[in-house]
């Protein structure tokens, strides 16, 4: 029998499907990177005790599953502080985008940056996630918008995956905005992504999912549908940025195609929620973009609860609408702006975020057989994870059974 690590005297928040609160005086046994057993410390089965080669006393610290950020744009060149300055003078995000700013200005600086530069700047940002209890992160492309630069971004994500102890879920978001080369030709661009880009991405195994920005300033409903249908036919998972600034019906369409998640959803309506319920599409809420763009249209939380749609919370970290590098702040914003309970928020960055990435068979809850991805918190009450603003009480993480102290 392989050696066993025993994490003892812990308070745990399992975050599994039936989870409601925390359990005290618990032990978690880890073997070969996976959770072998967990339960009350006095109940550790005799058959395992002889093989315990390391005992770790948690001294009643709280252990949650490792946190999961299921929606980020962490790799990019430059930043957009000057646009923020324009917005402070009263120019809207949509206006800035229409004037060639917005995403396109980040496209310019990303295209001008080499792999090493992009890797270095993303590595610095990623440190904050590693230090804040995150063991899985999704990162999207979408600032290259041509073959060379979209593949370059996905390659940077693959290098980050190799270098850092965090599970990575890469997403192709070439349909983020229209590149200058395809000006006024959105249908041609979508066809190009389908015919030319996706086959290479699949061949090189550089992305797990395909995403699209379905919005007046992004891509239309029919363009988004065509892309997602073809991405799905290529064996990739599908996701959508939908209903952020208006009700474009993107979430309903994506749910009907079996999307893993629909993200943003401020303007989501009930018919879309019904479709999401049928397909078990996860609602990914992004409170930081809501805050930074000073939106005032809250996603329909009560309806999402009523239809028991799994709700995930993510940072959306990106240079335009959510330049966040303190990922735990997302939890506070989700509870403050969207009035989610601390149980909903914590489930939103664990089990439901794992579902949004189709990784819930591996991670996202403390259950026997799952990867030992754990976050250890130096706190007294679980509510503290939503309560503090700008505090990081993370003590360390286990990623597949390997410990990383903060
Ligand atoms: Zn986004």
Is the pLDDT assigned to residue 101 strictly greater than 90? no
* Gap between the Cα atoms of 404 and 406, Å rounded: 7
Q: Could you tell me the pLDDT band of residue 174, with boundaries at 50, 70 and 90?
A: very high
CA of 303 to the centre of ligand 1 (A): 23
- Give percent above pLDDT 90 in the chain: 91
pLDDT of residue 1: 73
pLDDT of residue 266: 95
Q: Could you tell me the pLDDT band of residue 60, with boundaries at 50, 70 and 90?
A: very high
Q: Could you tell me the pLDDT band of residue 82, with boundaries at 50, 70 and 90?
A: confident
CA of 187 to the centre of ligand 1 (A): 22
Q: Could you tell me the pLDDT band of residue 328, with boundaries at 50, 70 and 90?
A: very high
CA of 244 to the centre of ligand 1 (A): 10
pLDDT of residue 97: 75
pLDDT tens digits, one per residue of 272-305: 999 999 999 999 999 999 999 889 999 999 999 9
CA of 298 to the centre of ligand 1 (A): 17
CA of 389 to the centre of ligand 1 (A): 23
Lowest-pLDDT range of 91-105, 162-176, 228-242: 91-105
Is the pLDDT assigned to residue 204 strictly greater than 80? yes
CA of 72 to the centre of ligand 1 (A): 6
CA of 73 to the centre of ligand 1 (A): 6
CA of 276 to the centre of ligand 1 (A): 19
pLDDT of residue 171: 98
Is the pLDDT assigned to residue 93 strictly greater than 90? no
Q: Could you tell me the pLDDT band of residue 108, with boundaries at 50, 70 and 90?
A: very high
Is the pLDDT assigned to residue 168 strictly greater than 90? yes
CA of 316 to the centre of ligand 1 (A): 5
CA of 203 to the centre of ligand 1 (A): 25
CA of 368 to the centre of ligand 1 (A): 33
CA of 54 to the centre of ligand 1 (A): 42
Regarding predicted confidence, which is higher, 82 or 258?
258
CA of 62 to the centre of ligand 1 (A): 31
Query: Which tokens is 109 given?
Result: 């600086």
Residues with CB under 5 A from ligand 1 (ion): 316
Q: What is the mean pLDDT of the chain?
A: 96
CA of 397 to the centre of ligand 1 (A): 26
CA of 191 to the centre of ligand 1 (A): 22
pLDDT tens digits, one per residue of 376-396: 999 999 999 999 999 999 999
Is the pLDDT assigned to residue 250 strictly greater than 90? yes
What number is the average pLDDT over the span 102-115?
Answer: 94
CA of 53 to the centre of ligand 1 (A): 44
CA of 165 to the centre of ligand 1 (A): 23
CA of 38 to the centre of ligand 1 (A): 36
pLDDT tens digits, one per residue of 301-324: 999 999 999 999 999 999 999 999
CA of 139 to the centre of ligand 1 (A): 10
């Amino acid at each position: 029998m392989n050696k066993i690590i025993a994490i003892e005297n812990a308070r745990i928040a399992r975050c599994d499907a039936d989870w409601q609160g925390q359990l005290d005086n618990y032990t978690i046994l880890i073997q070969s990177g996976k959770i072998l057993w967990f339960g009350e410390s006095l109940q550790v089965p005799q058959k395992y005790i002889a093989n315990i080669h390391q005992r770790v006393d948690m001294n009643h610290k709280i252990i949650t599953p490792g946190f999961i950020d299921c929606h980020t744009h962490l790799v990019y060149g430059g930043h957009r502080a000057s646009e923020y300055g324009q917005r402070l003078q009263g120019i809207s995000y949509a206006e800035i985008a229409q004037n060639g700013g917005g995403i396109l200005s980040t496209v310019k600086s990303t295209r001008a940056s080499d792999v090493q530069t992009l890797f270095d700047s993303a590595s610095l940002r990623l440190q904050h996630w590693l230090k804040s209890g995150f063991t899985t992160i999704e990162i999207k492309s979408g600032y290259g918008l041509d073959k060379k630069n979209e593949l370059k971004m996905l390659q940077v994500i693959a290098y980050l995956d190799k270098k850092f102890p965090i599970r990575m879920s890469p997403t192709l978001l070439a349909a983020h905005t229209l590149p200058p080369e395809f000006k006024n030709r959105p249908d041609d661009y979508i066809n190009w992504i389908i015919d030319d880009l996706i086959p290479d991405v699949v061949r090189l195994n550089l992305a797990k999912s395909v995403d699209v920005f379905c919005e007046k300033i992004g891509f239309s409903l029919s363009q988004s549908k065509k892309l997602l249908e073809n991405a799905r036919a290529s064996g990739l998972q599908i996701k959508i940025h939908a209903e952020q600034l208006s009700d474009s019906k993107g979430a309903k369409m994506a749910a009907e195609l079996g999307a893993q998640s629909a993200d943003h959803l401020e303007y989501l309506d009930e018919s879309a929620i019904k479709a999401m319920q049928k397909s078990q599409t996860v609602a990914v809420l992004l409170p930081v973009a809501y805050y930074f763009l000073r939106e005032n249209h809250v996603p329909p939380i009560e309806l999402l609860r009523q239809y028991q749609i799994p709700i995930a919370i993510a940072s959306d970290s990106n240079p335009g609408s959510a330049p966040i590098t303190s990922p735990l702040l997302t939890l506070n914003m989700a509870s403050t702006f969207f009035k989610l309970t601390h149980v909903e928020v914590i489930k939103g960055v664990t089990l439901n975020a794992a579902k949004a990435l189709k990784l819930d068979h591996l991670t996202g809850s403390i259950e026997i057989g799952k990867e030992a991805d754990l976050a250890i918190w130096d706190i007294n009450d679980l509510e503290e994870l939503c309560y503090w603003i700008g505090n990081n009480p993370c003590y360390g993480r286990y990623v597949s059974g390997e410990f990383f102290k903060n």
